[in-house]
Amino acid sequence: DIQMTQSPSSLSASIGDRVTITCQASQGISNYLNWYQQKPGKAPKLLIYDSSNLQRGVPSRFSAGGFGTEFSFTITSLQPEDFATYYCQHYDSLMVTFGGGTKVEMK
């Protein structure tokens, strides 16, 4: 099974900060990698699909990229509504795997 290792598991940041989260696959996964935001008590929200494509309606301060085993997700200027937990998610024909999550908290 492919393992998805997300880091850090949590981080503290201030409004306006640049925030970067990484997701590492245990073997090459092409660009089969998506990113979600989840706020407490809510369902996850798709932000990025296929490594780098911004989902419709998602602000452009969110971006991501990567291929193979190394992926990154960036918020260029953190806004108050961005404090949440972020998950990466890999898919293939056998399996769907989520990363462990990164909680972004206010410093």
Partner 1 sequence: QLHLQESGPGLVKPSQTLSLTCTVSGGSIDGGDDFWGWIRQPPGKGLTWIGSVNYGGRAYYTPSLRSRVAISVDKSKNEFSLRLTSVTAADTAVYFCARHPGRHYSGNNYYGADFDFWGQGTLVTVSS
Question: Min. distance of Cβ 16 from partner 1 in angstroms?
Answer: 28
> Which positions ≥6 away from 88 have C-beta within 8 Å?
4, 6, 21, 23, 33, 34, 35, 36, 71, 73, 98, 99
Question: Which helix (H) or strand (E) covers residue 54, if one does?
Answer: strand 53-54
Question: Min. distance of Cβ 22 from partner 1 in angstroms?
Answer: 16
Report d(CA 97, CA 3) in Å as an integer: 7
For position 101 contacting partner 1 by CB under 8 A, the verdict is yes
Which residue type occupies 45?
A: K
Q: Which of residues 78-97 bind partner 1 (CB under 8 A)?
A: 87, 89, 91-97
**Is the Cβ of residue 43 or residue 107 nearer to partner 1 in the bound state?**
43
Locate 97 and state its tokens: 């795997």
Q: Which of residues 20-79 bind partner 1 (CB under 8 A)?
A: 32, 34, 36, 38, 42-46, 49-50, 55
Whether residue 97 contacts residue 87, with contact meaning beta carbons closer than 8 Å, is answered with no
Question: Min. distance of Cβ 79 from partner 1 in angstroms?
Answer: 22
**Is the Cβ of residue 24 or residue 97 nearer to partner 1 in the bound state?**
97
Under the rule (CB under 8 A), what is the footprint of partner 1? 1, 32, 34, 36, 38, 42-46, 49-50, 55, 87, 89, 91-101
